[in-house]
Structure 1
Amino acid sequence: FDFSFQPSISEQRVKETLTCRYIANGENRILLGPPGVGKTHLAVSFALEAITQGATALFLTADDVAAECQKAEVKGTLSRLVSKWSRPDLLIIDEVGYFPFDELAANVFFQVVSRRYEKGAIILTSNKSYIEWGKVFGDDVLATAILDRLLHHAVTFNIKGESYRLREKKKAGVFPVSKPK
């Protein structure tokens, strides 16, 4: 990870997360920031280290969550899906907030977060600040309940900065280079 390109990220907090102690403690890691700043890169790195240390992990995008919920509802297997997502030592959900959850996905998400609370670690990435999560879940009360459980034992990485993906395009002159503020 290029800490010099994203100086808003604490290298010490990343290294602490890589010890994987948060998994044994049932804690969460939440990575917030605009597209391209390294949220998914860090989440995958944390998950790979956890697997290397013997933990089980499951990676889903928010889109996967919504699609799997729809399939499970049709099949009548929603409770089985909640159990499946509650089992791994580490659950990673990527791209929360890129589109709003429908009511079914939001409710299943709440059930999973509630079941994992203080038992199973979660890593979430999102491009939305916490204040916007009411829109993501379609319900302010539900979003508050989700955040209450997620944040009780969590470290938030609030990543600010430029997109890694656009960095090379800017160097090549495809996009204008913005001046630091």
Structure 2
Amino acid sequence: MSQLNQLQDLMKTLRLTETANHLPTLIREAEQKDASFTQFLLDVATYEQKRREEKLLEKRFKWATFPFFSTLEEYDLKEQKSLSSKKLNQLKDLTWMEQLYNIIFLGPPGVGKTHLSIGLGIEALNQGYKVIFTTMGDLIHVLKTEEITRKSKTRMKRIREADLVIIDDLMFMAMDKQEANMFFHLINDLYNQTSIILTSNKGPKEWGELLGDQAITTAILDRILHRVEIIHLNEDSWRMKHRKTIFGQQSVSN
């Protein structure tokens, strides 16, 4: 066995697998630039650190479970005049996360609430935060099966450990008392340690109708609204304005 193979095996034993696989290239580059031993070791250590960071980011993107990939740069402010460029930049700098603020995007379907939420989630991931995206329906399902399945238990552990939890389509369905109670306990767990982004087409005043229990509603609102920025997206549905039709330029209604 050559010295290179021995070194690669040793590095893999030390869990430096990424560098072990790339080692021939690193050695060749060091020889080409006549690098010192110190510079070569620095290049090796830097490569390993960079690949670990990249793999961690890849893993966190997978755990985030975004339904699609959309950045804030892709969001067309011309289509949504109720959100200014200044406000969008303030959201993008994520200072509100450091202050443990929550964000609520309110508005009818199709105005970009989910797009904005995912864009902010991607921005947070790229800045080193742990992010989880879930729909309200999926969240309730995972809460109800947490004690039954390992998958749900792992999912809830990641949600509770996240820096940012995005709950999409909040209050799209009525909850029974057990579901509302589970949701309250989750919000209580996240309170003062995690920022939350909520999207909804119903304002907080209407949440009580769907949660059913006024005491639970009040307790949830107290925690969510303690530090919150509510952003109303009032323009017409982007999806409706830009919908495609099999009838070419004709309106679907004509």
For normalisation by structure 2, the TM-score amounts to 0.63
- Give CA deviations for 1:63-84 in whole Å, capped at 9, x if unaligned: 1111112222545999887654
Task: Tell me the amino acid that sits aligned with residue 49 of structure 1.
Answer: E
Whole-Å Cα distance in 1 between the matches of residues 150 and 123 of structure 2?
A: 35
For normalisation by structure 1, the TM-score amounts to 0.86
Partner of 1:25: 99
Point out the more displaced range, 36-45 or 19-28: 19-28
CA contact (8 A) 2:80 2:235 kept: yes
Q: 1:81 to 1:45 in 2, by over 3 A?
A: closer
Higher strand share: 1
1:133 to 207, 212, 217: 207
Higher helix share: 2
Q: 1:175 to 1:54 in 2, by over 3 A?
A: farther
Tell me, what secondary structure is at the counterpart of 1:136?
Answer: helix
CA RMSD of aligned residues (A): 2.4
CA contact (8 A) 1:94 1:125 kept: yes
1:9 to 83, 101, 104: 83
- Give CA deviations for 1:2-34 in whole Å, capped at 9, x if unaligned: 222211123322211111112222111111111
Whole-Å Cα distance in 2 between the matches of residues 24 and 71 of structure 1?
A: 32
Query: How far apart are 1:144 and its partner, in Å?
Result: 1.8
Aligned pair 1:110/2:188, yes or no?
no
CA contact (8 A) 1:85 1:112 kept: no
2:118 to 44, 53, 74: 44
- Give CA deviations for 1:117-153 in whole Å, capped at 9, x if unaligned: 2221111111111111002212222112111111111
Whole-Å Cα distance in 1 between the matches of residues 216 and 153 of structure 2?
A: 19
Whole-Å Cα distance in 2 between the matches of residues 81 and 102 of structure 1?
A: 22
Whole-Å Cα distance in 2 between the matches of residues 18 and 45 of structure 1?
A: 9
CA contact (8 A) 1:69 1:104 kept: no
Whole-Å Cα distance in 2 between the matches of residues 163 and 104 of structure 1?
A: 34
CA contact (8 A) 2:131 2:162 kept: yes
Structure 2: stretches of 5+ with no match in the other structure: 1-74
Partner of 2:251: 173
Point out the more displaced range, 138-147 or 155-164: 138-147
Structure 1: stretches of 5+ with no match in the other structure: 177-181
2:108 to 12, 34, 40: 34
Tell me, what secondary structure is at the counterpart of 1:161?
Answer: coil
Q: 1:74 to 1:12 in 2, by over 3 A?
A: same
Query: How far apart are 1:102 and its partner, in Å?
Result: 2.8
Tell me, what secondary structure is at the counterpart of 1:152?
Answer: coil
Tell me, what secondary structure is at the counterpart of 1:67?
Answer: helix
Point out the more displaced range, 164-173 or 107-116: 164-173
